[in-house]
Amino acid sequence: MAKTPASKTPSAKRSGKAVDKLLPPDLIGADIGGESPQKAGPVPADAEISFSYAETQGEGGDTRQVAGDGIATLTTQQGIPVADDQNSLKQGARGPTLLEDSHFREKIFHFDHERIPERVVHARGYGAHGFFELTDSLSDVSRADIFQRVGERTPAFVRFSTVAGSKGSPDLARDVRGFAVKIYTQEGNWDLVGNNIPVFFIQDAIKFPDLIHSAKPEPDRDFPQAQTAHDNFWDFISLTPESFHMIMWTMSDRAIPRSLRTMEGFGVHTFRLLDAAGKSTFVKFHWKPKQGLQSVVWNEAVKINGADPDFHRRDLWDAINSGDFPEWELGVQLFDDAFADSFDFDVLDATKLIPEELVPIRIVGRLVLDRVVDNFFAETEQVAFCTQNVPPGIDFSNDPLLQGRNFSYLDTQIKRLGSPNFTHIPINAPKCPMAHFQQDGHMAMRNPKGRANYEPNSWGATQGGPRQDPVRGFTSFAEVADGPKQRVRSESFADHYSQARQFFVSQTPIEQKHIGDALVFELSKVERPDIRARTVSHLLHIDATLAATVAHGLGLALPDPAVAAREPITDLPPSDKLSIVKNGPASFKGRKLGILVTDGADAAIFKALIKAVDAEEAVYEVIAPKIAGVTLSDGTTVAAKHKIDGGPSVLFDAVAVLASAEGAALLSLDAAAKGFATDAFAHCKYIGISAEAKPLFAKAGIADDLDEACLPLADAGDAKTFIAACRALRYWPRELKVDLDAEKRTY
């Protein structure tokens, strides 16, 4: 279906009555951000309020809230009244963002500088060194040097991060994960600054400070930390319908990955590739993990954060140091203007993706992380990514979120690292030759040599310094931008729900259940009933059963649907690539088995289990009643990695319990041991159980519930069968038996 031209898209109209249905009587007309273009004071019941999408950003939960009747006028820091706080200034509705937008620049500048010394966002990060290797030349579409020679390896550094939490927050917060890659190419650094989710909450960078302010701890109380389960976040989201595609992703298991090694990375935006003749091809970048996709469940994430808040850091550190190097394939979606014009959605809209079924991914390289940092602060903390760092042959589109990021990142790195000389820090320095006339400044480690510090000059090659290179130098796509200077959102950005629905219907039933559970949990922490109702009103456009499930979980009467800026497309086909369960690993390789062992446990079974783990190229850790370890039935001593109350089952992908009769009796008296068993069962993990260990499961109250994923370890031959079964990672049918509301879900 082609996009409806902006000039032919009718302006929707809505009655003020729609607001009243979502608000308690005492809040009608209050300054809470209603469901319509909101003027101060009550909306008359018979009022007709009409705005085009280009004027308001969209009527479904419009955020154009107007001053007056006691509500102050928004101004700049110089006191200049602001007419539009929703859209940056552009050259035409889909044109580039203009540098003269002083309000946007002031807002972004202040936001970039409001935290000292940690990053405003992505403060909690972890990095590693590696290399990028080209496996398929892109010389047919790009002159970028890095895309020319198959087999060539280029140094790289990757920093993974959460977004909302501080440096001291836990790894398993429900959050977007940053996936920032710095590749030190022969023509300068390429910073592909992406996330583990291919879309974003907002369409225009001018709203980024508002988004992050809403997600951060509330300013009057400075909590909750690293959580979005509070009024401010959901108030903003429920008034920003463009966010609901991203909400489906962040409420899914994508936001609680099992490991940094088992999540995808995305460039998010549409970029351009340019060939030697200047011809443009649109591109979207994807990182596909060779380890397969895997996440945890929410209850498990909460307990991991208590047991090991450094879970993701430790996992990456251990994997690299053990020689199990994480690896991703770089894939590209390439398309031209004809596809962009025929696509149902605007390729410049960062809240949209292009399904792989429509534009298949072409694998062109691989990224391998094979070395940990020598010093965390010097490398991981001081690394500075800037989205505008691209080599010749890669260029930007007019995505207004990308254009704003290009402006913001340089400013925030200068503030955070204290000087424009942050490129002198080794982790940020290019590994190719550099020559320029920029000099001095705070923390300058080097200065240009020679007499001239300007150009043009007549001092010659020795003293005169570098000159521009029209042949090899960076050039931008010669795009014609035409249109009036205006603050607008293109009508082609107005569909907020279609891809959100497509993502939801692409999930397996258990993944859909988890999205419903997450929404109920998050909204249960919201104190204002009208914000909960307003959120559910948007869910009705995504999936009626999902909306009903969330309303039921909150004890909320189902509200009327929010008025949509554009009616969603209801027949977009599911995309299997959007599901984690459908894209899991084919083996247990790289996963971790936790083995709870007592004195006197069968040595033959233990040794067979270790052999099977090694054959699968997995890892194991031993948990015992005492950290000194145990003595097996044949007198062999085995050291423990964890004492039982410090090694809960949430830290492992699967567990086995090997005990003697006497050892099982002791474990049955221990609360931590019983919790080890019950959590592994509740989290749908595969469990291996020796015959002597069964009393522990009886005392834990789950002996009668053990299912086909609870496998016996009666002799050494069972070990191989058990490890093979663990390749499935989870036995999801079990969850339906341990969830109070599970039988009510009929997705």
253-263 tens-digit pLDDT? 999 999 999 99
Q: Which structural domain, as residue segments, surrounds residue 241?
A: 107-424
| 172 & 303 share domain | yes
| 375 & 229 share domain | yes
| 20 & 124 share domain | no
| 169 & 316 share domain | yes
Residue tagged 């984690």 (tokens): 580
CA distance 659 to 668: 11
CA distance 654 to 727: 10
| Dihedrals phi, psi of 139, to nearest 5 degrees | -60, -20
When pLDDT is cut at 50, 70 and 90, the band that residue 747 belongs to is very low
- 217-224 contacts at long range (C-beta below 8 A, 24 or more positions apart): 224/525
- Stretch 573-577: mean pLDDT, rounded? 97
Catalytic annotation, pick one of 87, 103, 129, 195: 195
Which is it for the CA torsion 21, 505, 262, 516, positive or negative?
A: positive
Residue 412 in domain: yes
Is pTM, for the whole model, over 0.85? Answer: yes
| 131 & 19 share domain | no
| 52 & 168 share domain | no
When pLDDT is cut at 50, 70 and 90, the band that residue 53 belongs to is low
CA distance 571 to 569: 6
CATH of residue 248's domain is 2.40.180.10
- Stretch 452-474: mean pLDDT, rounded? 89
Choosing from 73, 98, 117, the residue where a domain stops is: 73
457 in catalytic set: no
Residue 542 in domain: no
Question: What is the amino acid identity at position 392?
Answer: P
Q: Which two tokens stand for residue 36?
A: 């319509």
The verdict on whether omega for the bond into residue 456 sits within 30 degrees of 0, i.e. cis, is: yes
Q: Which among 261, 234, 232, 248 has a CA at the least distance from the CA of 171?
A: 261
Residue 368 in domain: yes
| 250 & 330 share domain | yes
| 257 & 358 share domain | yes
Residue 375 in domain: yes
Give per-residue pLDDT as tens, 612-656: 999 999 999 999 999 999 999 999 999 999 999 999 999 999 999
Total domains present in the chain: 3
Residue 546 in domain: no
Which of 46-60, 139-153, 414-428 bottoms out in mean pLDDT, i.e. has the lowest? 46-60
Give per-residue pLDDT as tens, 384-406: 999 999 999 999 999 999 999 99
| 47 & 182 share domain | no
| 151 & 22 share domain | no
Residue 221 in domain: yes
- One DSSP character per residue, 526-578 reads ---HHHHHHHHHHHTTT-HHHHHHHHHHHT-PPPPPPPPSSPPPS-PPP-GGG
Residue 180 contacts residue 161 (beta carbons within 8 Å): yes
113 in catalytic set: no
| 129 & 47 share domain | no
Q: Which among 60, 199, 64 has a CA at the least distance from the CA of 496?
A: 60
Choosing from 47, 73, 99, the residue where a domain stops is: 73
| 280 & 402 share domain | yes
Residues 6+ apart with CB under 8 A from 641: 621, 622, 623, 647
Kindly list the distances between the CA atom of residue 220 and the CA atoms of 165, 232, 426, 526, in Å, as whole numbers in the listed order. 17, 12, 39, 16
Catalytic annotation, pick one of 122, 230, 496, 642: 122
Give per-residue pLDDT as tens, 255-304: 999 999 999 999 999 999 999 999 999 999 999 999 999 999 999 999 99
Residue 540 in domain: no
CA distance 672 to 623: 11
Choosing from 360, 392, 424, the residue where a domain stops is: 424
Question: What is the amino acid identity at position 462?
Answer: T
Residue 79 in domain: no
